[in-house]
Amino acid sequence: MKRTWLAFVAAFVFWGFATPEYALSQITYSITDLGTVGGNNSIPYWITNTGDVIGHSETGEFDAFGNTIIHSFRWRNGVMEDLGTLGDVNSTGLGGNDKGEVVGNNWYNVNHALVWYNGATSDLGTLVGPGGYSWAQQVNDEDQAVGASAAADGTFHAVLWNRGVINDLGTLGGPNTSTFSLANGINDLGQVVGDSQQNTTVDPILGFPAFYPTLWDNGVATKLGGVPSYAFAGDAFNINNKSQVVGRIAVADPNEGAVAHAYFWQSSVMRDLGVPAGLGDDNSEANSLNDNGQIVGDSGVGFILGYIQNHALLWQNGGWIDLNTVIPSDSGYHLIVAFDVNASGQIVVCAVQLSTGNIRAALLTPQPKNVNGSLGPPAITGPKATPPLSAGARRLLALARNLKSGRRPGFSN
């Protein structure tokens, strides 16, 4: 069933500085297609330090309206497990921890946040009871999950489930302001990041009140400091155990109106990671990071709220690497988004099958150095556009963008 979701989206964050356009790559990566649970397309959102990959996949079945049914999955040791739903039609898997817990949500009828653990599926509930909406984005190793829930005033608020008990994290605007907030990431210290509105003034470029990258520490919401003056909105997507944050900012652009820039934040200093040159892209975003300083994301072309993602990226040693340059040239895939990186440097990506136009959840695994100890700078072969996508691939990517931009999980065609 096609649904119209909330017309609000979060923004992006950055400061300009001179860096190498590409970092030296010390290793190459093997690529593993993780498959699906029955359909043609799948997307990974998370990889744990134990190597579990979390995401969702087409099942090969269809609902009463002819839409492909989607289920959460966990890939472990070469096997993709269908996590199913809790009496609903669709589910999405968005995060997991090293203890084996997976979080995400049901959607279609119930639209509630879920946790899967030890073969059981549990409903995490909402702020307003059974009739409300909620979804969980991440869970840490302390059994704390974060996401968003419908609030009593009709807005959505960032929430923290602490061992199953839901807590409203509020917004930068304070109580009784009809402002929205969303929680995207949590570390093992209990620090939460996401984005929040400060007021209800509509931004003329975005078309809705701007969101700002936000940190919740001990339950107190704070706008990230050090944001460059040219950024007018932003998201925070993830925080590691060193309290380092990554995300994206909105920057005015004469051609697109606004574009995204990736950033790295630490101790009230925000660093603009730039858009890689030589690829033909004008947007970038940082989706996740590990404790070793590796950051993953993507770059693409278009207006900030719906730009076309073209290249999966890795930031290390002071510059961006197009991950397409460090996988086998005959892999048969083009990588468009890197979603997460674990402590071992394994990266989960959205890979386009060149032969079909379908998208697949894929795992990149670092390989040993060559005999010289280094590969040197990756070769820049010129701008490459995303190959033509199948209808199912476009639909799954629309769902992924809805989740990233703070809309309720569901399709937006």
Question: What is the amino acid identity at position 340?
Answer: D
> What is the pLDDT, as a whole number, of residue 406?
56
SS3 324: helix
> What is the pLDDT, as a whole number, of residue 380?
41
The upper half-sphere exposure of residue 118, i.e. CA atoms within 13 Å in the direction of its Cβ, equals 1
| Residues of the chain with confidence (pLDDT) below 50 | 1-25, 371-380, 408-413
Q: What is each CA distance from 135 to 38, 96, 122, in whole angstroms?
A: 24, 14, 13
> What is the pLDDT, as a whole number, of residue 94?
96
- Residues 351 and 311: their CA atoms lie apart, in Å, by 10
> What is the pLDDT, as a whole number, of residue 12?
28
> What is the pLDDT, as a whole number, of residue 24?
45
Structural domains present in the chain: 29-401 (2.130.10.150)
> What is the pLDDT, as a whole number, of residue 371?
42
pTM comes to 0.90
> What is the pLDDT, as a whole number, of residue 8?
30
> What is the pLDDT, as a whole number, of residue 219?
87
- Residues 172 and 179: their CA atoms lie apart, in Å, by 8
> What is the pLDDT, as a whole number, of residue 383?
56
**The pair of three-digit structure tokens given for residue 130, joined into one six-digit string:** 């059974």
The residues facing 364 across adjacent strands are: 31, 347
Q: What is each CA distance from 184 to 191, 303, 385, 403, in whole angstroms?
A: 11, 22, 29, 10
- Residues 285 and 246: their CA atoms lie apart, in Å, by 9
Q: Where are the beta strands (DSSP E) in 267-398?
A: 269-272, 283-289, 295-301, 308-316, 319-322, 333-341, 347-353, 359-366
Question: Would you put residue 100 in left (φ > 0), alpha (ψ -120 to 50) or beta?
Answer: left
Q: What is the pLDDT of residues 49-96, one digit of tens each?
A: 999 999 999 999 999 999 999 999 999 999 999 999 999 999 999 999
Q: What is the pLDDT of residues 315-354, one digit of tens each?
A: 998 999 999 999 999 999 999 999 999 999 999 999 999 9
